[in-house]
Chains A and B, each alone.
Chain A
Amino acid sequence: MTKQARWAGMPRLAVAGLLALLSGATQAAYKLNFQQPATELAQEVYDLHVWMMWVCVSIFVVVFGVMFYSVIKHRKSLGGAPATFHENTRVEILWTAIPFVILMVLAWPVTKTLLSMRDSSNADITIKVTGYQWKWGYDYLKGEGAGIKFMSVLSTPQDQLDNKAPKNDNYLLEVDNHLIVPVGKKVRILTTSNDVIHGWYVPSLAVQQDAIPGFIRDTWFRADREGSFTGQCAQLCGKGHGYMPIVVDVVSAEKYAAWVAGQKQQMAAGAEDPNKVWPLADLMKHGEAVYAKNCVACHQASGKGIPSVFPALDGSKIATGAKLEHIKTVLNGRPGTAMAAFGQQLSDTDIAAVITFERNSWSNKTGDAIQPSEIKTERH
């Protein structure tokens, strides 16, 4: 919207004008309710909420109608002496009983919706969602696509986060690998976590389930229309809590089948040869990419970390000392700290490359080229 257009719109709608004036970068529609539902259950929840809002508004209007009537009509300036009544058991019983009835009327449909919400049986596809600090891992466990697994990481460029580049429309709601599911199929989501508690929350699907380390929880959805739906981590999980969005693409059965076939092919082609010997330059290049996705949030692009919160790698004992200690730290993490175990998240090649990168970047000049085979022998 141009500046002129914005000003021209002002007189028409004062409120909208004020909002437009206040809004800088974005002119998105002002949402006053839930996101557009994409499942039958989400629609039920949407309707329940609207209905409850009207019940609340009606009660509010009646109760405060009485209060404001009193404020206006029973003020001292209008004269008159105060009444002296101060109790009435019948009235007390009445205004205890009526709300009780209203509450029962409210509870009934919510109970029905909740019961179907929690019935995750007979799913067509089961996907395990694992929360990591600060990304999501998806494993297709059952149904069409079983065996596919990938990580999903925020893809908003660092420049935009740092206010050095204009923010795009999907700012903070975009990831590299979307979760792809077919339309009309019951998708069961199992949540768990690798480190701290996260929350897998996609509003349009009316799904929010905490991901708890060491335990599995479940939820489900059946999308009734195609589209791309976004969500975010809902449980405070550390510094990257605001930076681990979720993108679910609901696609047609055909597109889904094609996607599954593509993934399987890629997996077959991409199967690494753990015995391949990589030259240092290739390891460095691949390692830089792995570092940018997995390490940079804490250890920073400069390798300097954040003093007394996240240790520096630049010049650190681990990254310049014995190789083995470095490999073990990356594979197994440091229990009790934010350093995650990357053994389950990354391939041998990824780990070899990122360690090589860390040992030969910034002021670190070990010259080590760590090979995937070295990682493999350290796994247990």
Chain B
Amino acid sequence: METTAMGHAEVHDHGHGPTGLKRWLTTTNHKDIGSMYLWFSFAMFIVGGIMALLIRAELFEPGLQFLDPERYNQIVTLHGLIMVFGAIMPAFVGFANWMIPMQIGASDMAFGRLNNWSFWLLIPASLLLVTSLFVPGGAAGVGWTLYPPLSIQMGMGMDLAIFSVHILGISSILGSINIITTILNLRAPGMTMMKMPMFAWTWLITAFLIIAVMPVFAGAVTMLLTDRHFGTSFFSAAGGGDPVLFQHVFWFFGHPEVYIVILPGFGIISQVISAFSRKPLFGYASMVYATASIAVLSFFVWGHHMFTSGMPVTGQLFYMYATMLIAIPTGVKVFNWIATMWRGTLTFETPMLFALGFIFLFTMGGFSGLVLAMTAVDVQMHNTYYVVAHFHYTMVAGALFSAFAAVYYWLPKWTGHMYNEKLGKVHFWLTMAFFNMTFFVQHFLGLAGMPRRIPDYALQFADFNRISSIGAFGLGISQLLFLYIVVSCIKGGPKAAAKPWDGAEGLEWDVPSPAPYHTWEIQPQVK
């Protein structure tokens, strides 16, 4: 790959647009928008995290201490919605905005104004969600799955959640259209599909998933809305409908959704592992195919979320076998990552630590997922804390860890400074330790039969809940260190080279650090 002579002349040229707040409101620059996405995501991560801590504070010991049961249900619901739609998804869109144009040699995203619009839609959407706590009746206390008929009973907080989901859906669909168009049309000459970095590949596949399922979710909540206000009976048996219909439609969206939040993470991990092993990614083509197979399979497994809803045994068997199949491409990915490390020259900077933590913990989440796939065993674990532990191993240790890896990996490129490596490592080890303290014990709670989404519990669950709550507060407080590291890296620090990681590959390392406001105005040539 060739470094062009573009660069320094352009570093200072972003004085031609509006300044101050107006700059951010009107910007069409992928880096500006990427930064806004990332800060928004972090803010939502804090909001959702505070909610998680409220939950854990309430569950610290038996009895009700801080929240009454309705508030508890509302906080559980908002924690889920905010973390999935406010924190994780925007974080990956932020990375995509920043990195995909740089990685494929494009000067910006394909649709600048659309990009701006997709970001700014997030603000009203998240405001609707958060302010729903304060309307009469409070927020929806139904869980992020929004199952009727309970969601039909809710007050106006439910309507706000529905509109919020609509807006979030529009935002992510627009973002996906932009990403797909950018990747398919704006690649530099020579950047063939099978030369693209894994992050671009996984995002391309994710974007198709989003476009496929977000409208389905929007449809499901619209049906809820009309059942609530306009006299329809989609989900009411009394009017000829069926509450379980909602579950089918929801999970047809919901299962691909969990891959939407993890696939871009797979891409990040692939690049980080390869960079710090100083060895090309093992089995690049098989990684691409594995990602695509996971995406395709994700459309055929939704029934495993409904093993106790009542379905014919043949249906249960189908969903069980289909779900088990997902273990194969996922396993292929893990094996390829390990083969990438094999006989490499490994160093363990913070991004690498988070990547290794990701592989280790995500695999545990994969195994508990395999156990949950077994219908006969699942009946004992469905709706228990085992499930809570499982999906936090995939979403926190999966999506969040990969987001941390990405931030540390690309922070020098964004800011032009190196972050404090020592503190980064401390952040990793604290996060790792407290994460496991919080969530590992929840497996035992689930095995012992503690249902999820309860504000108070029987005495035999007390000890593990206490450990979990202590861990959660440690996990939460450790993230302030992350904020400190990032902010001080933005403010200063040792100058970062254009390619601060000697094993890193890709066009993004051919532009100077910090990356100038406009990059690749002249397309690079990839050989």
**Chain A residues numbered 28-59 whose CB sits less than 8 Å from any CB in chain B:** 28-35, 42, 44-45, 48-49, 52-53, 56, 59
Residues of A within 8 Å of B282, CB to CB, are 85-87
> Is B484 part of the binding interface, using a Cβ–Cβ cutoff of 8 Å?
no
Question: Which stretch, B42-50, B60-68, B216-224, B394-402, touches the partner chain A?
Answer: B60-68
The contact sample of 19 A-B pairs, CB cut-off 8 A, is A26-B463, A32-B447, A34-B449, A52-B371, A63-B335, A64-B363, A75-B347, A80-B345, A99-B331, A107-B374, A195-B153, A196-B147, A201-B383, A210-B309, A237-B150, A239-B70, A239-B141, A241-B453, A242-B455
| Contact call B456/A215, Cβ cutoff below 8 A | no
| Contact call B460/A213, Cβ cutoff below 8 A | no
| Contact call A67/B341, Cβ cutoff below 8 A | yes
> Is B211 part of the binding interface, using a Cβ–Cβ cutoff of 8 Å?
no
- Please name the residue on chain A nearest to B382 by beta carbon: A208
| Contact call A232/B454, Cβ cutoff below 8 A | yes
Residues of B within 8 Å of A241, CB to CB, are 69, 73, 451, 453-454
> Is B21 part of the binding interface, using a Cβ–Cβ cutoff of 8 Å?
no
| Contact call B338/A26, Cβ cutoff below 8 A | no
Residues of A within 8 Å of B237, CB to CB, are 212-215
Chain A 145-172 per-residue mask, 1 if CB under 8 angstroms from chain B, else 0: 0000000000000001111000101111
A residues engaging B (CB < 8 A)? 19, 22-26, 28-35, 42, 44-45, 48-49, 52-53, 56, 59-60, 63-64, 66-67, 70-71, 74-77, 80-88, 91-92, 95-96, 99-100, 103, 106-107, 110-111, 113-115, 117-118, 160-163, 167, 169-173, 195-197, 199, 201, 203, 206-210, 212-215, 217, 230-243, 306, 308-309, 335-338
> Is B39 part of the binding interface, using a Cβ–Cβ cutoff of 8 Å?
no
Residues of B within 8 Å of A60, CB to CB, are 363-364, 367
Residues of A within 8 Å of B335, CB to CB, are 63, 95
Interface centre among A33, A212, A231 (most CB of B within 10 A): A212
| Contact call A99/B327, Cβ cutoff below 8 A | yes
| Contact call B73/A74, Cβ cutoff below 8 A | no
| Contact call B448/A35, Cβ cutoff below 8 A | yes
- Please name the residue on chain B nearest to A160 by beta carbon: B63
Report Cα–Cα, A186/B417, bound state, in Å: 70
| Contact call B280/A84, Cβ cutoff below 8 A | yes
Q: Size class of B's contact patch?
A: 35 or more
Report Cα–Cα, A44/B374, bound state, in Å: 13
Residues of A within 8 Å of B453, CB to CB, are 236, 241
| Contact call A96/B277, Cβ cutoff below 8 A | no
| Contact call A213/B462, Cβ cutoff below 8 A | no
Interface centre among B142, B150, B237, B457 (most CB of A within 10 A): B150
| Contact call A197/B344, Cβ cutoff below 8 A | no
Partner of A209, one of B63, B243, B310: B310
| Contact call B280/A76, Cβ cutoff below 8 A | no
| Contact call A82/B444, Cβ cutoff below 8 A | no
Partner of A213, one of B65, B143, B155, B243: B243
Interface centre among B64, B331, B348, B503 (most CB of A within 10 A): B331
Report Cα–Cα, A107/B373, bound state, in Å: 10
- Please name the residue on chain B nearest to A242 by beta carbon: B454
| Contact call B64/A162, Cβ cutoff below 8 A | yes
In the complex, how many angstroms separate the beta carbon of A235 from the nearest chain B beta carbon? Answer: 6
Residues of A within 8 Å of B320, CB to CB, are 107, 110-111, 114
Report Cα–Cα, A77/B278, bound state, in Å: 13
| Contact call A31/B328, Cβ cutoff below 8 A | no
- Please name the residue on chain B nearest to A195 by beta carbon: B149
> Is B166 part of the binding interface, using a Cβ–Cβ cutoff of 8 Å?
no
Residues of A within 8 Å of B425, CB to CB, are none
| Contact call B155/A309, Cβ cutoff below 8 A | yes
Residues of B within 8 Å of A19, CB to CB, are 463, 467
Partner of A70, one of B147, B283, B285, B344: B344
In order of increasing CB-CB distance, the 9 nearest A-B pairs are A214-B237, A242-B454, A217-B310, A308-B136, A203-B449, A83-B343, A234-B383, A31-B448, A239-B69
- Please name the residue on chain B nearest to A87 by beta carbon: B283
| Contact call A236/B150, Cβ cutoff below 8 A | yes
Report Cα–Cα, A82/B332, bound state, in Å: 22
Residues of A within 8 Å of B459, CB to CB, are 25-26, 28, 167, 169, 171
Report Cα–Cα, A237/B151, bound state, in Å: 10
| Contact call B316/A82, Cβ cutoff below 8 A | no
| Contact call A238/B73, Cβ cutoff below 8 A | yes
> Is B242 part of the binding interface, using a Cβ–Cβ cutoff of 8 Å?
yes
In the complex, how many angstroms separate the beta carbon of B372 from the nearest chain A beta carbon? Answer: 10
> Is B359 part of the binding interface, using a Cβ–Cβ cutoff of 8 Å?
yes
Residues of B within 8 Å of A171, CB to CB, are 62, 458-459
| Contact call B153/A214, Cβ cutoff below 8 A | no
| Contact call A172/B344, Cβ cutoff below 8 A | no
Given A52-B374, A214-B237, is A161 in contact with B70 using a C-beta cutoff of 8 Å? no
